[in-house]
Amino acid sequence: MSDKSTSSEAAASPAPASVDAGVVVAPRKIYPIVKYGDPILEKPTVAVKKFDADFEQLTEDMFASMYAAQGVGLAAPQIGLNLRVAVVDVTVGKNPEAKIVLANPEIIHAEGEVREEEGCLSIPGFRGYVMRPQFVTVKAQNAKGESFEIRAENLMARAFCHEIDHLNGILFLQHLSMLKRDLIKRKIKKLKKQGEW
The residues annotated with a catalytic role in the active site are 163
Q: How far is the CB of 41 from Zn ion (least distance, A)?
A: 8
Q: What's the rounded Cα separation, in Å, for the pair 140 and 72?
A: 18
Which residue, 168, 170, 108, is CA-closest to 138? 108
Q: How far is the CB of 166 from Zn ion (least distance, A)?
A: 5
- Per CB under 5 A, the segment of 13-21, 82-90, 116-124, 184-192 that binds Zn ion is 116-124
Query: 158 CB contacts (<8 Å, ≥6 apart)?
Result: 1, 114, 116, 118, 130, 132
CA distances from 7 to 36, 71, 155 (A): 22, 9, 17
- Per CB under 5 A, the segment of 80-88, 94-102, 120-128, 175-183 that binds Zn ion is 120-128
- Per CB under 5 A, the segment of 4-12, 55-63, 104-112, 119-127 that binds Zn ion is 119-127
Q: Which is nearer to Zn ion, 30 or 170 (CB)?
A: 170
Assess 120 for contact with Zn ion (CB under 5 A). Answer: yes
Q: How far is the CB of 159 from Zn ion (least distance, A)?
A: 9
Q: Is 117 helix (H, G, I), strand (E, B) or coil?
A: strand
CB 99 within 8 A of CB 20: no
Which residue, 79, 108, 92, 95, is CA-closest to 159? 92
Q: Which is nearer to Zn ion, 129 or 146 (CB)?
A: 129
Q: Give the x-and-dash track for 146-185 against Zn ion (CB under 5 A).
A: ----------------------------------------
Q: Which is nearer to Zn ion, 42 or 51 (CB)?
A: 42
How many binding residues for Zn ion (CB under 5 A)?
1
Which residue number is nearest to Zn ion in terms of Cβ?
A: 120
Q: Which is nearer to Zn ion, 25 or 107 (CB)?
A: 107
Question: What secondary structure letter does DSSP report for 83?
Answer: B
Q: What's the rounded Cα separation, in Å, for the pair 149 and 33?
A: 28
Q: Which residues bind Zn ion (CB under 5 A)?
A: 120
